[in-house]
Amino acid sequence: MDAPDSASRVFCSRILSMVNVDDVNAIILAQKNMLDRFEKTNEMLVNFNNLSSTRLQQMSERFLHHTRTLMEMKRDLDSIFRRIRTLKGKLARQYPEAFNHPLSGQETSCQLEFLDWAQGIFSRARSDVYSEHLKVSKDKSQMSPVLAPQSGPPQGG
């Protein structure tokens, strides 16, 4: 039974002698370096994902705020234009001759009166809209538009 023992020992010793210990140590060192790199990369990606998630949440809130502001402005403008159409209809009934004749170089006094009146209406409507205009906050990092406080009733002709 000594022969198989010696044969297996010889086989194992020859296999072990084929493998260079320095090469194995170099491979292990390279694998450790790669592991360190992958761990650092993974940590950087986790930090990036956390930062991205935070920024997405902030931007989503700002986007929602801006969307609401735009929707309010649209409702205000729709209301203004609806009032203008109503007033235009009333004026068309009161001053039909101003609406029947196209404006040329020679307007009638009625047309001029209407134009002055309409210009006053439009300037008041513009004043209403722009009194609630958006201004950029002084903190450039936030850059969030806010509604300007209204100083009083709009002035217009």
Domain layout of the chain by residue ranges: 2-147
CA distance 41 to 47: 10
Q: pTM of the entire structure?
A: 0.44
Cα–Cα nearest to 97, from 86, 85, 110 = 110
Q: How far is CA 37 from CA 15, 40, 43, in A?
A: 33, 5, 10
Pair 98, 110: CB distance under 8 Å: yes
The residues with which 135 forms a beta bridge, in sequence order, are 146
The residues with which 146 forms a beta bridge, in sequence order, are 135
Phi and psi dihedrals of 142, rounded to 5?
Answer: -90, -40
pLDDT string in tens for the chain (157-residue length): 455 578 888 888 888 888 888 988 999 999 999 999 999 999 999 999 999 999 999 999 999 999 999 999 999 999 999 999 999 889 889 888 877 766 555 556 776 777 777 777 777 766 655 554 444 344 444 444 444 444 444 444 3
154 burial level (CB within 10 Å; 0-12, 13-18, 19+): middle
CA 35, 37, 39, 45 torsion: positive or negative?
negative
Pair 117, 95: CB distance under 8 Å: no
